[in-house]
Amino acid sequence: MLKEYLFPFEKLEVWQLAKELVLAIYNVSKRFPANEQYGLISQINRAVISVASSPAEGSSRISQKDQARFSQLAYASLMELACQLSIAKDLGFINEEDYEKLRRGIVVPSRKINALRRSQKKRAK
């Protein structure tokens, strides 16, 4: 991909990490039981897509306050995802190794999203 064609959100490290997490989640959730297609699979996939989509949408906003709101939405979606992964593990849909890998994949983006949100809120004042 040529750098001159990057949209602003594609340069954000939090978006890049979120995109990696999307791919990892989709690879694991496709192994869930078929009867979860409209249940937990749908919930998990929507949550992780929101993690990537919120910083993208927020980057298009002019005010720092608006941008911070979308960063907060991304963080909230990460917490929703963490909850859903825990439930999926307890139900036996995710093995321990995949669960730990996905949880580690949530930690770094959550810290970076919070740092971004704090910076945006600080600049909004």
Q: How far apart are the first and last CA of the chain?
A: 36
Q: Is residue 2 part of a domain?
A: no
Q: Which domain holds residue 119?
A: 11-124
Please give the model's pTM, rounded to 2 decimal places: 0.90
Query: What is the predicted pLDDT for the residue at 2?
Result: 58
Which tokens belong to 51? 């993690």
- State the total domains in the chain: 1
Q: Is residue 6 part of a domain?
A: no
pLDDT band at 123 (very low <50, low <70, confident <90, very high): confident
Q: Is residue 27 part of a domain?
A: yes
Q: Is residue 111 part of a domain?
A: yes
Q: Is residue 3 part of a domain?
A: no
Q: What is the CATH number of the domain that holds 102?
A: 1.20.1440.60
Q: Is residue 5 part of a domain?
A: no
pLDDT per position as a tens digit, 37-92: 999 999 999 999 999 999 999 999 999 999 999 999 999 999 999 999 999 999 99
Query: What is the predicted pLDDT for the residue at 3?
Result: 63
Instruction: State the Cα angle at 51 between 96 and 78, rounded to 5°.
Output: 45
